Amino acid sequence: MKFSGSDVISMQEFSKEGVFEVLSHAQRIKEEGPRVDLSGLVLANLFFEPSTRTKLSFETAMKRLGGEVISIDSVRASSIKKGETLADTVRVIEGYADGLVLRHPKEGAAKMAARFVDCPVINAGDGSNEHPTQTLTDLYTIWREKGRIDGLNIAVMGDLKYGRTVHSLVIPLSMFDVNLFLISPPQLEIRSEILNDIKRNKADIHKSSFIESLIGDIDILYATRIQEERFADPNEYEKVSGSYKIDKKLLNGAKKDLILMHPLPRVDEINPEVDQLDAACYFEQSANGVTIRMALLEMILGGVLDE
Amino acid sequence: MNDKDLRVGSIKDGTVIDHIDAGSALKVVQILGIDENIEDIVSIAMNVPSAKTKTKDIVKVEDRELASDEVDKIALIAPEGTINIIRNYEVIEKNKVNLPKFIKEVVRCPNRNCISNTDEPIKSEFQVINKNPVKLRCVYCERAIEQNVSEHIK
């Protein structure tokens, strides 16, 4: 895959080889440190929805590579409040920065932005659609912890309907030789178009509403938050909130080397008593986000791997 | 001129869109952008007896030869439609509609949270993932329209 100067909008654009190029490069950075100096380059963080991890990890990644970061992190303080279109905003910011990182509540926002600017656009979450850099972080975490992705039994659990991290993650996972268990309340099942897409790939897909009967077979349990902000009707949220609780009792029945992941923030789906267990991997997963974003910035802005 | 002539009369020059699914002619007219501002003579025949499909609709646009990119969008709701170009009462060209790979502007994304349903300066755009039955996918938000496409025509 070509990365230099490219956008990262959707995991649909990634081949299996492309995924491994990013993971391998991230591992090289982890072991040997950065390969390029991005001093003199400016990354614009455009966050039109709240973010802690994604925004700060991009900022950290760019600074560790020697670059500078400018940010919009409040719609109220920007021209959006004055009615400016996103298309205008990104064309203005392109004049200040060498690359744009965009989080926006509307689905397809990053795709649209990329059509209006020449500089690279990285999708940091567009509504409930996709979050590809979180997915690369997740894949890197699985690969580091297990040494492989093929052959694993992977359960993705929680809000599969609105969860953008889930939508992005199941696309590449389905390209591997894995058993992929999709666990959700019936109201929050994965959308049919995504299910149809991934069914065409290599993975064996299984749907379920319960984790208890599966926990003994799972290598990776990827839990997600049921996101109150995606529900138009608060009553509908109340019906499904708290559907899953991961605690020591549940994990007693798990494989000894189970890895428990979560894109964070969590609400009540993982009991804090689990944090001390070897299975708990979500804080390392979060830290891996910086390494992956350093790898992407080196490849996209620094042209590493394309020479 | 009797009633029968009025309904099915030939046109001298122009375009005849035939084999439209019965009841869909008005949608075809809408897709072609034919409205009160058009100066050409347009005839719409609905529920006309047909050997192939029992009944069909026909649209005739006089003195205007519609370009293929104009009529291909008709395949969204009339996948069996045919386009006849008429000159001096003779059919000089007969083509089946052919749905293009991408449809712009004509269809509205059913996802209210899609960026194409905002004030941004973009047109809706769908990839055609299946031609008959028509299945579309929004290039922005990836949502699919897998049935009743006509309900989503703007």
Q: Which two tokens stand for residue A255?
A: 């494989």
Torsion of CA A287, A133, A163, A12, to 10 degrees: -150
Say yes or no: A60 and A146 in one domain.
Answer: no
What are the angstrom distances between the C-alpha of A260 and each of A27, A163, B32, B38, B101? 21, 17, 55, 64, 42
Cβ-Cβ pairs closer than 8 A, A with B, add up to 59
Say yes or no: A40 and A174 in one domain.
Answer: no
Q: What is the pLDDT of residue A307?
A: 44
CB contact under 8 A, A107 and B115: yes
Within-domain flag for B3: no
Q: How many CB atoms sit inside 10 A of residue B150's CB?
A: 17
pLDDT per 10-residue tile (average), chain B, 154 residues: 57 92 87 82 90 87 84 82 93 89 92 96 95 92 91 85
Q: What is the pLDDT of residue B40?
A: 86
Find out whether B114 is annotated in a ligand binding site: yes
Say yes or no: A98 and A227 in one domain.
Answer: no
Selected residue with higher pLDDT from A74 and B47: B47
Is the distance from CB of B86 to CB of B116 less than 8 angstroms? no
Q: What is the pLDDT of residue A80?
A: 67
pLDDT digit string, tens, across residues A113-151: 999 999 999 999 999 999 999 999 999 999 999 999 999
Say yes or no: A280 and A214 in one domain.
Answer: yes
Within-domain flag for A179: yes
Give the residue from B115, B118, B135, B147 with the most A CB atoms within 10 Å of its CB, the best one to mutate: B115
**DSSP line for A170-217:** HHHHTTSS-EEEEE--GGGPPPHHHHHHHHTSSSEEEEES-STTTGGG
Say yes or no: B64 and B106 in one domain.
Answer: no
Q: What percent of chain A has pLDDT over 70?
A: 96
Torsion of CA B79, B84, B85, B89, to 10 degrees: -160
Interface of A with B in 115-134 (CB under 8 A): 115, 126-130
Q: A74 in contact with B at a CB cutoff of 8 Å?
A: no
Q: Mean pLDDT across the stretch A65-73? A: 94
CB contact under 8 A, B115 and A111: yes
**Would the pLDDT of A220 be above 80?**
yes
* Helix axis angle, A132-146 to A282-300, nearest 10°: 120
Q: Which two tokens stand for residue A11?
A: 């995991």
The average confidence (pLDDT) of chain A is: 93
Q: Provide the b/e sequence for A268-294 (b: ≥16 CB within 10 Å).
A: ebbeeebeeeebbbbeebbebbbbbbb
Residues of chain B with C-beta less than 8 angstroms from the C-beta of A105? 113
Q: B46 in contact with A at a CB cutoff of 8 Å?
A: no
pLDDT digit string, tens, across residues A257-290: 999 999 999 988 999 999 999 999 999 999 999 9
Give the ipTM of the model, two decimals please. Answer: 0.92
B60 lies in which domain range?
Answer: 14-96
Residues of chain A with C-beta less than 8 angstroms from the C-beta of B141? 107-108, 126-127, 129
Q: A296 in contact with B at a CB cutoff of 8 Å?
A: no
Rounded to a whole number of angstroms, the distance from the CA of B100 to the nearest CA of chain A is 21
Q: What is the pLDDT of residue B34?
A: 83
Q: What is the CATH number of the domain that holds B137?
A: 2.30.30.20
Say yes or no: B30 and B53 in one domain.
Answer: yes
**Would the pLDDT of A29 be above 70?**
yes
Say yes or no: A139 and A172 in one domain.
Answer: yes
Find, among A154, A124, A133, the residue nearest to A142 by Cα.
A154
Q: B144 in contact with A at a CB cutoff of 8 Å?
A: yes
Beta strands of A85-161 (E only): which ranges? 99-104, 121-126, 153-157
CB contact under 8 A, A108 and B115: yes
- Which of A71-80, A100-109, A124-133 comes out lowest in average pLDDT? A71-80
Q: What is the pLDDT of residue B21?
A: 86
- The residue behind tokens 């982890």 is A30
Q: Mean pLDDT across the stretch A246-259? A: 96
Q: Give bridge partners of residue B60 from the DSSP assignment.
A: B16, B43
Within-domain flag for B49: yes
A139 lies in which domain range?
Answer: 133-286
Q: Mean pLDDT across the stretch A220-244? A: 83
CB contact under 8 A, B120 and A85: yes
Active site residues of A: 53-54, 82, 103, 131
Say yes or no: A142 and A242 in one domain.
Answer: yes
Rounded to a whole number of angstroms, the distance from the CA of B136 to the nearest CA of chain A is 11
Q: How many CB atoms sit inside 10 A of residue A12's CB?
A: 12
Q: How many CB atoms sit inside 10 A of residue A35's CB?
A: 16
d(CA A203, CA B78): 37
Within-domain flag for A2: no
CB contact under 8 A, A108 and B142: yes
- pLDDT confidence tier of residue A306, bands split at 50, 70 and 90: low
CB contact under 8 A, A193 and B137: yes
Indicate the number of domains in chain B: 2
